Amino acid sequence: MLDIDQIKQILSNMNFELDENTDEVLNILIDNEIISENDIAEKLDVKINGARKALYKLKEIGFVEYTKERDEEKKWWYIYFWKINRARLLEIYQRFKEKRVKEIVEIIKNEKQYSFESASGEKYTYDSALSKGFIDEEGAPLTEINNFELLNNLEEEMHDLNSEISNVKLMREEYKVATEEIEEE
């Protein structure tokens, strides 16, 4: 199962910043399988709206979910119960990594396409530069692009991301097996 440090690391890797209140709410959710927003507000010693703001911020990422039940005392009122969906977090994290791999593939494709650039930064394929006599529209010579280091770094990042995706897939499978075993008991 994912512990608090792993969850926070995943959120950090996805560039999600936790403010103090949201961090405290996340800690409470980790410690409780399911908890009402009233109990969260009480534990934080804040108004219900303060707890809701943090809960909705976490829900926006997609791994915190709620159910609602009618309040027994106030028939027109609902009580919201919140929980962390760890399997969903791993799914979101995997998609985040896969999206970055696709972005890198596109960048590499674009970078390999161009061989020359002008002083203003406009890029040219070899054939395009040749047809212009290696001179830009203002009469200045085009310079050859040396993007070997950039391409190397991108390919290395893509390799690392693919390894991380494999690890996340393994974590998802292990989590699925672990939750199935708990449900069978």
In the block, tokens 């707890």 appear at: 51
Helix %, strand %, coil % of the chain (to 5)? 60, 15, 25
Q: How many CB atoms lie within 10 A of CB 103?
A: 13
End-to-end Cα spacing for the chain: 17
Mean pLDDT of the chain: 94
The answer, yes or no, to whether residue 6 has pLDDT greater than 80, is yes
pLDDT band at 81 (very low <50, low <70, confident <90, very high): very high
Least confident of 56-65, 78-87, 153-162, 173-182: 173-182
pLDDT in tens, 103-134: 999 999 999 999 999 999 999 999 999 999 99
pTM for this prediction: 0.83
Strand, helix or coil at 80? strand
Supply the pLDDT for residue 171: 94
The answer, yes or no, to whether residue 183 has pLDDT greater than 80, is no
Strand, helix or coil at 57? helix
What angle (nearest 5°) sits at the alpha carbon of residue 169, between those of residues 180 and 156? 165
